[in-house]
Structure 1
Amino acid sequence: MTVNTVDVSAGRAQQVLREGWAAQRAGALTTSWMLHGRPGVGKTEIVRQLAAEQGARFYDLRLTTIESQDLRGLPYYDHETKKTQWYRPEDLPDDPDRPSLLFLDELTAAPPHLHPAVYGLLLERRVGPHILPDNVFLVAAGNMVEDGAVAYEMGTALSDRLIHLQVRATASDWLESYAVPRTLHPAVLAFIRMRPDLLETTAEALDRGLMISTTPRSWDRVSRIMGAVQDRALRRIMVAGTVGEAVAAEFMLVADDIEASVSVERLLNAAPHERIMLYPESMHGLHALIYGLVGALGPTTAVPVIDVMAGIRTLDVHRSDASFARMPLAELCTHGFEMAIRRGLEQGLAEDFLGHPAYAAYASERQAMGLE
């Protein structure tokens, strides 16, 4: 069955849920939400981050690993009332004073015998005698059969009670909303910036009968491999086992070049007259440098980070390498400063940028060109 709604990026989906939470808190909209999307596009991370933003307790129920009694609880006999009562399971929020987010993951893969209990939560915000407090935000997620996942069709009675979001992975959103804030390895960021088509290849892998595809989740794993494993041969094997042999071969060529030509720490610590010769000479190297600078930005590094970032703009003037003349250096510098400013504002470093001569010159030049 096709999910006939608009596609949204992970960042956009989070904005929608954030607005939905505010509406529920104001008493204007109480509903349940359903995130559809291929495996690894970031559905769980969207919900987990939303709970953290709201200061909410996060309840993560993987519906493929529980039984119906796990939701209804265990029965006991009340001798006074001569009735069977039910102990409330610990996985259901019950605190009316603290907001909670109840995440029902793998909804479309839940076995049919579990559906009545799950549907009661999503449709009526209760299961058996257990009623969810008004401050509980309800989100479910799942994959479809066409995603190569185990899935059951969703009945119309349930579908009609949910607000559906179809999450699609996009490179620009993933880089801005997830990868940069979490300072993933610069080689991964630079590679996806240059090859956005390889962020998510599930459909292509299914068409070709390949088991391994690339997803935002797998690139996060590659980032951790790059940071944790120093042996290049072993690292290549691990990366190939994560994103597939062909993609891994292409990525490792870029990663090896970046590793050989990019040293953020060396650039930041070098004397100003020495820096010009330390810049990498390739586009992916410059992309990696930019992401590395953004990741290194902090109260003690703001000045050299701004210096090095601003230096990218005039590499074609100060370096004789013909390759720099063919590169969009101004665009690279602008892209880098935009990310750095966002990260700097989060850290309270606005004055470091506004008071720095190199940044002031950059801003004035853009203003003169009508870009500010």
Structure 2
Amino acid sequence: MSVNTTPVSAGAALDALRHGFAAQMAGRLTSSWMLHGRPGIGKTEIVQQLANETGSRLYDLRLTTIEPQDLRGLPFYDHTTKRTVWYPPEDLPQSDDDGPTILFLDELTAAAPSLQPTVYGLLQERRVGQHALPAKTFIIAAGNMVEDGAVAYEMGTALSDRLIHLSLRAEANDWLTSYAVPHGLHEAVTAFIRTRPDLLDTTEETLRLGRMIACTPRSWTRASAILQATPDKRLRDLMLAGTLGDAAAAEFSLIVEDIAATVQAGAMLEARGAERIGMYPRSLHGLTALVYALVTLADAETLPATIDVMAGIEGLAEARTEPEFARLPLGELVTYGFELLIEKALAEGLQEAFRGSVSYAAYLARREE
């Protein structure tokens, strides 16, 4: 059964959840949400980011690991009233006195059918037995579909009708700006996906070819961690192949070597004049990695020099004699880099550095011409 709604990027899904959360806290809308998406596309990260932004306590329930009685609680016989009393489990929000909470029902479509009636009550009536969820509890479920190659049951209409559905798709530019750059992923990963967006998510092709290992946003995050933790090339390449698949890993490893040999972002921030000009990489991958590295390194101390290095990319065709620079989209790359850098500066209150930068003023003047 397909999810007949418009697919959206992870960033758009997070925006929708932000609105839904704010509307519920204001008493205007109370509903439960469902994130559909292939394994590794970032469903859990979206929920975690929403919890961090809103200061909410996150209750993360993996429905494949629990039984119905785990949600219902423990029965206790009250001798005074001669009735059975249910003590609610600590895995569920208890009171609005604790502030806003997010109840995340992960792997909903993989949960055993025997658990679904209990989940129905949480999603629709917002209660289990006699235990009602606090009013400030925001409910999000997530799961994979059968066609994703994951363990999953078809979602029946009784369950689907209780939810607002968001179908996620992997979108390279959204992933780079909304996740990879803010989380400081290795510049080789961000540069590679910028130039090979088709390799961000290869799940569909991998399933069609009958292979096990696919590239996903989650696997690229793991690849970034491998690069940062494994200096030994032989071990690193082995681990990357086991994370991305041999074909994608082989292509990526070549770029990693090129970037490691040519990108010197930290040294460029300290250099000056002609010395700095000679340190710019000559390849598109190298320059793209430099842009992401500069954004990652930018802070209150380094931002003025970062602006100078970023602006210098645009004039490389005139400042350097190598013919490669004349064929590269230098202007587009600088514009993209400044967009990322300005976004970070605004988020951290560092925008004054742009107002006093001679390099940025010259860049703006060239843009107007």
Q: TM-score range by the shorter chain?
A: over 0.9
Structure 1 partner of 2:235:
234
Percent identical residues = 62
Q: Deviation at 1:353? A: 1.0
Q: Deviation at 1:347? A: 1.6
Structure 1 partner of 2:120:
119
**How many matched pairs?**
368
Structure 2 partner of 1:283:
284
Structure 2 partner of 1:82:
82
1:15-35 Cα shifts (integer Å, max 9, x gaps): 001111111122221110000
Q: Report runs of 4+ in structure 1 exceeding 3 Å deviation.
A: none
Structure 2 partner of 1:193:
194
Aligned residues: CA RMSD: 0.8
Q: Deviation at 1:155? A: 1.4
In structure 1, C-alpha distance between the alignment counterparts of 2:366 and 2:328, rounded to whole Å: 19
1:167-216 Cα shifts (integer Å, max 9, x gaps): 00100000000000011000000000000000000000000000000000
In structure 1, C-alpha distance between the alignment counterparts of 2:350 and 2:121, rounded to whole Å: 49
- Ranges in structure 1 where 5+ consecutive residues have no aligned partner: none
Note if contact 1:188-1:223 (Cα within 8 Å) is conserved in structure 2: yes
Note if contact 1:123-1:158 (Cα within 8 Å) is conserved in structure 2: no
TM-score, normalised to structure 1, is 0.98
In structure 2, C-alpha distance between the alignment counterparts of 1:26 and 1:265, rounded to whole Å: 46
1:91-121 Cα shifts (integer Å, max 9, x gaps): 1001213000000000000001111111110
Q: Deviation at 1:345? A: 1.2
Structure 1 partner of 2:155:
154
Q: Which amino acid aligns with 1:116?
A: P
What are the residue-to-residue correspondences of 1:56-67 with 2, within 5 Å? Answer: 56-67=56-67
- Ranges in structure 2 where 5+ consecutive residues have no aligned partner: none
Secondary structure of the 1:6 match is coil
In structure 2, C-alpha distance between the alignment counterparts of 1:84 and 1:282, rounded to whole Å: 72
In structure 2, C-alpha distance between the alignment counterparts of 1:161 and 1:271, rounded to whole Å: 61
Structure 1 partner of 2:251:
250
TM-score, normalised to structure 2, is 0.99
Secondary structure of the 1:22 match is helix
1:232-274 Cα shifts (integer Å, max 9, x gaps): 1100000000000000000000010000011111111112221
Note if contact 1:262-1:279 (Cα within 8 Å) is conserved in structure 2: yes
Structure 2 partner of 1:349:
350
Secondary structure of the 1:104 match is strand
Q: Deviation at 1:153? A: 1.2
Structure 2 partner of 1:314:
315
In structure 2, C-alpha distance between the alignment counterparts of 1:357 and 1:62, rounded to whole Å: 53
Q: Deviation at 1:129? A: 1.2
